[in-house]
Chain A
Amino acid sequence: AQRVTQPEKLLSVFKGAPVELKCNYSYSGSPELFWYVQYSRQRLQLLLRHISRESIKGFTADLNKGETSFHLKKPFAQEEDSAMYYCALSGYNGNKLVFGAGTILRVKS
């Protein structure tokens, strides 16, 4: 069975501080991992996917198969990063996504 765990409901940091949003997963096959973000009054949208190994808006995430984790990191938080962040997992084709419970990130000035 696929499962995604985001242990923090709320993460509050000061502007300029480092950010790490935790995500752990359980999946028997080879997972595809994603981070989706929902800004206030906006649609849920893809932030990044592990297959692309990209950095979006300064965020990066590394898939650690040994620890079954896909933590989202940013070295210096900005106020506009405040949003709800969801970690998600799928099988090989990215369709049947399983989401974590989400973490609210609040960046304080």
Chain B
Amino acid sequence: NAGVTQTPKFQVLKTGQSMTLQCAQDMNHEYMSWYRQDPGMGLRLIHYSVGAGITDQGEVPNGYNVSRSTTEDFPLRLLSAAPSQTSVYFCASSYGAGIVGNEQFFGPGTRLTVL
């Protein structure tokens, strides 16, 4: 049971390049989400999904796309990278909605630098 996995661990991009951050979980969780972590700002929700085929925007969705074709995978796409997207990205998953006090399980993070 690997939990939540993310690849790559580190990435350097040039402005304007595109890339996909991978996230997978093997816990059969319905809910998955992407956060970015910036100093002094905590974690901010980018996009989330409540199940395969269903996604929605979070607090800071601009410049990012997601899709959820399977329960296990939830990739995050940067369409045209900008220096403002330099951050640490975390993927998280949890059981379905309606569970009070639902715990989220986090991946190890991807550190992205955009030059």
Contacts and interface: CB of A to CB of B under 8 A. Distances in A.
Interface size bucket, B side? 20 to 34
Contacts of B106: 43-45
A49 B101 contact: yes
B42 A9 contact: no
Given A34-B101, A92-B100, A96-B58, 16 more contacts: A43-B106, A43-B107, A44-B92, A45-B106, A49-B103, A94-B100, A94-B103, A95-B102, A95-B104, A97-B43, A97-B45, A97-B104, A98-B45, A98-B59, A101-B41, A102-B42
B100 A32 contact: yes
A99 interface: yes
Interface of A: 4, 6, 9, 32, 34, 43-46, 49-52, 86, 90, 92-102
B98 interface: yes
B94 interface: yes
